Amino acid sequence: MLFLPVVDVDNTNAQSLNVREIARRLDPERFHSTLWYEHEPDPQLRNHAGIRLLQLPSHGKTLRILRELLAGYDIIAYVDYSPATYLFLHLPRAVRRRAKAVFHAEAPSAQIMNPSRALRFLHDGIVPRCDFYTGITEFVSQDVQSHIKKTVSYILPVGVDTRLFSPPPGRTNPVPVVLFAGTLVERKGPQHVLAAAERFPSVTFRLVGAGRQGFSEVLQQRITQSGLKNVKLDGPKTQLQMRDIMRESDIFILPSRLEGIPKVTLEAAATGLPCIVFRDYLSPSVIDDVTGFQVGTPQDMMRALGRLIEDRSLRERMGAAARKHMESFDWELVSRQWQRAYVEISAMPAR
C-alpha cells in the first residue's frame, strides 16, 4: 500500500493524523505500507514493522511521487489532489497495472468552497477516475453518490486514541472554559464563538488553530474593537498540547456546518467534554441531548451553550456520556474496519 498524505511529526492535518493511526495498526504480516514525509516523520512510525518511510525531495516532487505510484502497489490509499495523482490516473490501465486508487471522502463535496481553477481542474480529473470510494459517514456517502455519481463501497469512520485523549481527574475552573479547535477560516465558524463571548462575558473562550486567508487577523480585529477580554487566540498546537487544553476546558463548540466526523469532536469527547455541533452533517460523534447538542441554528447554539454554562451537573453528566460513547470510536476497533476493507479491495478487480 502507498498512502499519499505526508506524515511529518508537526503535521496536524486530520488526514495525516488518520493515516498514521491506520498504518501503524495494520497487521504487518498482511500489509506493507509506504508513507511520505518532508522533514521529520512521526517517531511512532520509525522502525515499525510493515512501514516504510520515504522522504520527499525538495525539488521534483511530482516526478518522484509519480515514479512511486508506478512501483507496483496493490492499493493507493487516501488519493489526493496532486499533479502526480492526476497524471497517474490518466495513464492507461496497462501502465498502472494492478494498483487500485481509493478515494476516502471525509466531508461533503460542498466543503471545497471557491476553489482555484487549478484545484477544480485536479479535483474533476482525479475523483471520478478512482477505483473505489469510501465515506466517513452515511451522510457523506450519500453526498458522494449524489454529487460525484459514484457508489461508495465502505463506510469507514475515523477514530480517537482513548488512551492518549482521556479525562482529567476533575474539572475545577471557577468559571467554565469554552473551547473551539480548528482552522481559523470563516467556514469553521469561529466568528460565532466571538458572538458567544460577547453574550457570555464572564466565561472564558479559547480558540485553537492556525489562521488561513488572513481570517485570524479579522478575528483579532473584532476582539479588539469589541473589547473582548474573555477570548484567547492560541494558534496551532500539537496533539499533546491539544489534549492538555481539552483537559483544562469545560465545553467544546464547533460552529462549522460542513463536516464529516470532526476529529476534534472525537478528541474532545474522549477527554470528557460535552460538544455542541450543527446537525447539518449528522455527525455520529455527538448524541443529541446525551453527550452534547446537535443544533439547527446559531440561536439554538447559544441556548445550548447557555444551558451548559449554567449547569455544572449537566456538563459533568454529558461529559461522562461522551467519554463512554468514544469507546466505540477507539482506533483499535475502528482500524479493524479499515483493515477488512483494504483486504477485500485488494482481492477485487480494478475499475
Q: Where are the domains of the chain?
A: 2-159+331-347, 177-329
The two beta strands, 204-208 and 231-235, are: parallel
Mean pLDDT of 151-171: 97
Asked if 139 and 108 touch (Cβ cutoff 8 Å), the reply is yes
Q: Which three cell numbers stand for residue 341?
A: 476493507
Cell of 206: 479559547
Q: Do 177-329 and 2-159+331-347 fall under one CATH topology?
A: yes
Angle at 322 between CA 321 and CA 324, to 5 degrees: 65
Residue 134 pLDDT > 90, yes or no? yes
Listed residue (89, 112, 103, 109) closest to 152, CA to CA: 103
Task: Give the whole-angstrom CA distance, residue 35 versus residue 5.
Answer: 8
CATH class of 177-329: alpha beta
Residue 347 has pLDDT above 80, yes or no: yes
The confidence score (pLDDT) of residue 158 equals 97
What's the confidence (pLDDT) of residue 106?
Answer: 94
Distance of CA 343 to the CA centre of its chain: 24
Confidence of residue 110 (pLDDT cuts 50, 70, 90): confident
pLDDT at 115: 84
2-159+331-347: CATH superfamily? Glycogen Phosphorylase B; (3.40.50.2000)
User: Residue 124: what are its φ and ψ, rounded to 5°?
Assistant: -70, -25
Q: Which amino acid is at 134?
A: T
For a pLDDT cut of 90, what percent of the chain falls above it?
Answer: 93
The whole-number pLDDT of residue 111 equals: 78
The pLDDT tens digits for 291-309 are: 999 999 999 999 999 999 9
CB atoms within 10 A of CB 303: 12
Buried b (16+ CB within 10 A) or exposed e, 32-59: ebbbbbeeebbeebeebebbebeebeee
Kindly report the average pLDDT of the chain as a whole number: 96
Q: What is the pLDDT of residues 232-278, one digit of tens each?
A: 999 999 999 999 999 999 999 999 999 999 999 999 999 999 999 99
* Averaged pLDDT, 122-150: 95
Kind and range of the H or E element at 292?
strand 292-295
Does the pLDDT value for residue 76 go beyond 90? yes
Residue 112 — very low, low, confident or very high, per pLDDT cuts 50/70/90?
confident
| Cell triple for 209 | 488553530
Cβ-based neighbours of 261, under 8 Å, separated by 6 or more:
106, 136, 137, 157, 158, 283, 284, 285
Quick one: CA dihedral 302, 295, 274, 266, positive or negative? negative
Q: Sign of torsion, CA 23 28 30 31?
A: positive
> 321: how many CB neighbours lie within 10 A of its CB?
18
**Among the ranges given (25-34, 104-113, 239-248, 316-325), the one the predictor scored with the smallest mean pLDDT:** 104-113
Q: What is the mean pLDDT of residues 308-317?
A: 98
Give the whole-angstrom CA distance, residue 320 versus residue 323.
5
